Amino acid sequence: MGNAKSEHAVPPTDIEFVFSAGGFHTPCVLKTTLPFKFSNPNAPLYGHLSSIDSSATSGTAEHFVLAVQMRLTWISGDKKPQQVIYGNGKSQISQVTTFSQDDMCGSTFIPSPAKDFGWHDPGYVHTAIITGLQPSTIFNYKYGSDAVGRSDEIEFRTLPAGGSDELKFLVFGDMGKAPLDAAIEHYIQPGSLSVVKAMVEEMRNGSLDSIFHIGDISYATGFLVEWEYFLHLITPLASKVSYMTAIGNHERFRISLCDSGLRWRIETYFPMPTAAKDKPWYAIEHGSVHFTVISTEHDWTQNSEQYKWMRKDMESVDRSKTPWHRPMYSSYNSLITVDATFRNVVEPVLLANKTHDNGNYKAPVHAIVGMAGYSLEKFPSIVGL
């Protein structure tokens, strides 16, 4: 007999523990426990915030007209609508959605665990729009219902108004998740723990207004329960800061292929202000910064729908920051990761619409970000751009 501690994200279904011998290469099941039932499998969990438009940020700090609106998304085992309660007794009812095993991507040629042993009942995804907020203002909220219980009260500070002198935001990709205990998953990113811890510290110090996680979100690779571990990991952060996302190759690989198993269902967990389903490009303003977020996994060639949208957006505003997943410039000499054609198509659009704040700059400034949790690559023997 012995004791072992284990930390788990709480799924809306029962779990079992399996004791085995032979390691992970030749496992032999010795004993399986009876299912563990959670006291409240319908509890509201993993609330995370995101911006839905540029309201109250597209004018000036002195003359904003519209109030800020934020989207809150959370998970529950209950399909009945719930509420987010905020401010002085205001409330909004949630819209509810879910997805099934048939929605998962994969084929005979490219199988995905999500359609087989990686499938896990996701419960129900609730989302509600919080309206009537003012910029740079602290408010409290909680979510859930009388029937399933409510979350703790959470404090959140809204984004600065348009024309503000300062915006503090973080941009990164490739984070993933890792267990907080000594458990071993099939695919972990240990660095994600320290990255989230550092971001939480930035937030507590008042040095963070918003976050852009630009691709390779959870690295669940077809194991649905690992999305809950990821949501569990980011909740202390994403419940208090606007958490925006873009897709990468581990969410949707080159349009037709699928690594995450979710296909376009990533938009269910992280609904962004996109034009339509499976068109994960959008523009939004936080404070004085205009963000144009594009998808490198969808068609971006000239005359494509995304290219026309991107060109129109960049022509309409002074481009300040442009996040996407695959880098245009990299020392990693892989044609799969860096496509010279992408540079040839997108670079002229950036050059034609760059911000002329300083005449010394001959071209836009490119910041290559990533490795927020995923293992670092070795330096290449041959550097190729």
Q: Which of 125, 131, 122, 147 is nearest to 47 (CA)?
A: 125
Q: For position 30, what pLDDT does the model report?
A: 94
pLDDT band for position 359 (cuts 50, 70, 90): low
pLDDT per position as a tens digit, 147-202? 999 999 999 999 998 778 889 999 999 999 988 776 667 778 888 999 999 999 99
Q: Which of 109, 126, 167 is nearest to 43 (CA)?
A: 126
Q: How far apart are CA 247 and CA 264, in angstroms?
A: 10
pLDDT per position as a tens digit, 1-58? 566 666 666 666 778 888 889 887 888 999 999 988 888 889 999 999 999 876 544 4
Q: Show the DSSP H helices in the chain as ranges.
A: 191-204, 225-238, 266-269, 305-316, 340-352
219: Cβ contacts below 8 Å, ≥ 6 apart: 176, 177, 187, 189, 226, 250, 374
Query: Options 3.30.1560, 3.80.10, 3.10.450, 3.60.21; which CATH number does 45-352 get?
Result: 3.60.21
- Phi–psi pair at 213, nearest 5 degrees: -100, 100
Q: For position 58, what pLDDT does the model report?
A: 44
Burial label for 300, CB within 10 Å (0-12, 13-18, 19+), is buried
> Which amino acid is it at 184?
I
- In this predicted structure, which of 6-10, 144-148, 270-274, 381-385 has the lowest mean pLDDT? 381-385
Burial label for 103, CB within 10 Å (0-12, 13-18, 19+), is middle
Global pTM? 0.83
Q: How far apart are CA 262 and CA 306, in angstroms?
A: 21
Torsion of Cα atoms, 257 then 263 then 264 then 267, to 10°: -120
Q: How far apart are CA 256 and CA 299, in angstroms?
A: 11
Q: What is the mean pLDDT of residues 283-306?
A: 89
Could you tell me the residue ranges of all domains in the chain? 45-352
Burial label for 200, CB within 10 Å (0-12, 13-18, 19+), is middle
245 dihedral zone (left: phi>0; alpha: psi -120 to 50; beta)? beta
Q: How far apart are CA 358 and CA 260, in angstroms?
A: 42
225: Cβ contacts below 8 Å, ≥ 6 apart: 9, 11, 120
pLDDT per position as a tens digit, 225-259? 888 889 999 999 999 999 999 988 888 766 555 66
